[in-house]
Amino acid sequence: MRSISIAVAFAIGRSTFDAGGFSGRRARPSRMDPNGPRITYAGYLRLNELLGLQAGPDGHLPVPCADEQHFIVVHQTYELWFKQVLTELDASVRLLGQPSVPEGDIPRVVRHLERVSEIFRLLSAQWKVMETLAPQEFLAFRDRLGTSSGFESWQMRALELTLGLSDEQRVEGADPIGHLRRLHSVGDMSDAALADLEARVDGTSLHDVLLAWLGRTPIDGSLADAEGDGAVVAAFVDGHLAAMRSHADEVIARMVAVGQGEPEALERRMSAGVDGAATFLRPEGSIDRARAGLLFIESHRHLPLLAWPRRLIDTVVEVEQSMLAFRHAHARMVERMIGRRMGTGGSAGVDYLDATTRYRIFTELWAVRTMLVKEARLPQPRDAAFYGFAGSD
C-alpha cells in the first residue's frame, strides 16, 4: 500500500527551511553587486531596442502610419508570446519525458500547461484589437507586406511540432516546414531558427511523452512491468466494455418504451459505440495500455492518487481547446479584414485557416470521453487502497 508519511513530509520541510530560510542562519548574499551599475526598468527590458523594432522590414521603408504600426505591434506581440509558449512546452516535455516521473513533477507540468492555455486565451482576445483595423485601412498598406505571411511563423510551426502535430494531420498540400527550409536556403531564415525547427521535427513531442506516461498508469493496482499485468488490464477493459453494453441495452429499452425510436436502428447506433470503444482500446487486436490507462483515470477520477493525473489530462485538453479557439478567432478576423481573397503568401487565405481549426493532436483524450460510463455501473478497482493516502504515527 502506498503511504505518505506526515512526519517525513514535515522533516523534509524542516531541512528545507534550515538551508537558510527560517533557521536563523545568515542568508547567502545576493548575486547582484550593490556597487555595480544600476539596473533601470528600461535597461532590464531593453526598451530602447524593443521600441525601435516597429519601423517596418529592416527599417528601410518609410515610418509606418498608425494603422501599420498597430499591425506590426500586434504580430510582434504574438511572436513574443509564442516564444513563451515554447519555453513552457519544452519544460513540460522534459519533466513528463523522464523514464519515471516523480509525483511532485506532475503539478509542475500542470502549471506550465495552464500558463500555455491562458496565453492562448489572451491571444484569442487580442484578435479583437486587430479588428479595430477597417478593411480599407489594411488595404492601404497591405502591399508593403510583399509575400510575407503568418504561414512563415517558424515559432508557430515549432509550437505545433512540440505539441505533436504530424505531417499527416496537416491541411492537404500544406508543407510549412518545407517552405521554411526554402526560405533558409535563400538566406531569409537564420541558421539558428532552422536548427531549432529541425530538432523539433525529429524530437519528442508532448503527445509522445504523454502517451508513454499514460502507458505506465497503475490499472487495478497493477504496474505496467508487473507479472500478470496483461491479464489485469484485459479484465479491466472487458469489464468496461461489458458495462457499456449493459448500459446500451437499458437505453434502448427505455427509448423504445416511450416511442423514441425503432429497436433495430437504436441497436445499430448503440452497438456502434461499443464496437468503437473496443477498437479504440484494442487497435489491431491488442490492448493499447496507454489508452487503457487513460480510460482508468477518467473512469475513477475520485481516487486520491489519480487526482493530479486527471488534472494533467484536463489541462492538456484545455491547451488544445484554447489553441483551437485561437485558430478560429484568427480565421474570423482575417475573413472580416479581407474576405475570401488569397493570402499575401499565396495561400488560400481564410479557407486554409478554417481547415486548421479542425486539427486535433491529442485525439485519444477527446475520444475516451465518448465511452465513459457513470461510475456506479463500473466494476470497482480491485485494490482501491492502492490509490489512497495514509499517514503514519
230-243: per-residue pLDDT in tens?
999 999 999 999 99
User: What's the pLDDT at 344?
Assistant: 63
Q: What is the mean pLDDT of the chain?
A: 87
pLDDT band at 148 (very low <50, low <70, confident <90, very high): confident
Mean pLDDT calculated for residue range 38-67: 86
Q: Give residue limits of the domains in the chain.
A: 68-144+151-219+305-346
| Residue 263 pLDDT > 50 | yes
Calculate the alpha carbon distances from 114 to 53, 87, 232, 313, 322 in Å. 30, 13, 34, 11, 10
| Residue 199 pLDDT > 80 | yes
pLDDT band at 280 (very low <50, low <70, confident <90, very high): very high
User: What's the pLDDT at 18?
Assistant: 35
Q: Which residue has the cell 513531442?
A: 205
Of 1-5, 115-119, 388-392, which one has max mean pLDDT? Answer: 115-119
Looking at residue 148, what DSSP letter applies? -
Largest CA distance in the chain: 85
248: closest CA among 366, 367, 373?
A: 373
Q: Residue 358 and residue 157: Cα distance in Å, rounded?
A: 16
Looking at residue 219, what DSSP letter applies? B
| Residue 225 pLDDT > 80 | yes
User: What's the pLDDT at 23?
Assistant: 38
User: What's the pLDDT at 365?
Assistant: 98
Q: Residue 171 and residue 380: Cα distance in Å, rounded?
A: 43
Mean pLDDT calculated for residue range 316-339: 94
Contact (Cβ atoms closer than 8 angstroms) between residue 110 and residue 311: yes
| Residue 296 pLDDT > 90 | yes
Q: Which CATH architecture has domain 68-144+151-219+305-346?
A: Up-down Bundle (1.20)
| Residue 37 pLDDT > 90 | no
Between 116-125, 221-230, 255-264, the lowest mean confidence (pLDDT) is in: 255-264
Q: Would you say the C-alpha torsion 300, 301, 307, 313 has a positive or negative sign?
A: positive
| Residue 112 pLDDT > 70 | yes
Cell numbers found for residue 304: 486520491
